[in-house]
Amino acid sequence: MSVGAFEAFTLVVRRELCLSFRRPDQLLQPLVFFLIVTTLFPLGLSPQMSLLRDMSPGVLWVAALLSSLLSLDSLFKSDADDGTLEQLALCGQGLTVIVMAKTFAHWLVTGAALVLVSPVVGTALGIPIGAFSTMMLSLVLGTLTLSWLGAIGAGLTVGLKRGNVLLSLIVLPLAMPLLIFGASATDRAISGTSAAGPLYFLAALCVFTCTLAPFAATVALRITLE
């Protein structure tokens, strides 16, 4: 009885979530980083509400990008180190399904978690409640795109001993549009104008990477497996 691709996808997602929850320290690291950076800013700056509101979209997005980057390194690394990546590559499902499942699971424990705590951070930065929905939507699109971009980078650098720096160098320039459009969407929501433009751009980037990055990451990973 063979196993279908969707079944394989859910099995790998379950495996990744199971592994993440057995390691709460690693699970919480990006989240704690995000919370610390964003709560330090209001303390460091003057507590003027108007200044905070001007700064908050940029602060929020820079912190979100950097905290997502923190955990990208481990996406394929631990599996490559202990030989389980070879087992996954030979499971008969095609590496693309495995890559998609692993990246999606990675987004669930980093990106989605970050989106869930963002209202807390938004409150600390003085973002009005009315702007929360736009802020969270832009973060969903942005972190999802970043996870996919990161999967390509992680696939390319998985064979390197200290691939972390190289990974940041590969991913950060590609993530610049996310920062620009994400911050601008949040900014517009705060000032009460329509955020549709930047959100459409984010959505387009998200669809673009979701459809093409799995294949690019698979090729990158196959090269490093050789």
Please report, as ranges, the residues that interact with another protein according to CB under 8 A.
1-3, 8, 11-12, 14-15, 18-19, 22-23, 82-84, 86-94, 225-226
Q: Which is nearer to another protein, 178 or 221 (CB)?
A: 221
Q: How far is the CB of 28 from another protein (least distance, A)?
A: 15
> Is 161 strand, coil or helix?
coil
Give the shortest CB-90-to-another protein separation in angstroms.
Answer: 5
* Nearer to another protein (CB atom), residue 18 or residue 196: 18
**Residue 118 near residue 139, CB atoms below 8 Å:** yes
Between 121 and 154, name the residue whose CB sits nearer to another protein: 154
**81, exposed or middle or buried, with CB in 10 Å at 0-12, 13-18, 19+?**
exposed
Residue type, 159: G
What distance lies between CA 99 and its chain's CA centroid?
A: 15
The angle subtended at Cα 82 by Cα 80 and Cα 84, nearest 5°, is: 70
Task: Tell me the two tokens of residue 8.
Answer: 């394989």
Residue nearer to another protein on the CB measure, 39 or 96: 96
Q: How far is the CB of 1 from another protein (least distance, A)?
A: 4
Nearer to another protein, 44 or 226 (CB): 226
CB of 112 to another protein, least distance (A): 21
Closest approach of Cβ 79 to another protein, in Å?
Answer: 8
**86, two tokens:** 């070879």
Nearest one of 144, 136, 143, 138 to 118, comparing CA atoms: 136
Shortest spacing between CB 85 and another protein, in angstroms: 9
Distance CA 47, CA 164 (A): 35
Q: Which lies closer to another protein via its Cβ, residue 14 or residue 51?
A: 14
For residues 76 and 59, give the distance between their C-alpha atoms in angstroms, rounded to a whole number: 29
As a whole number of angstroms, the distance between CA 166 and CA 156 comes to 9
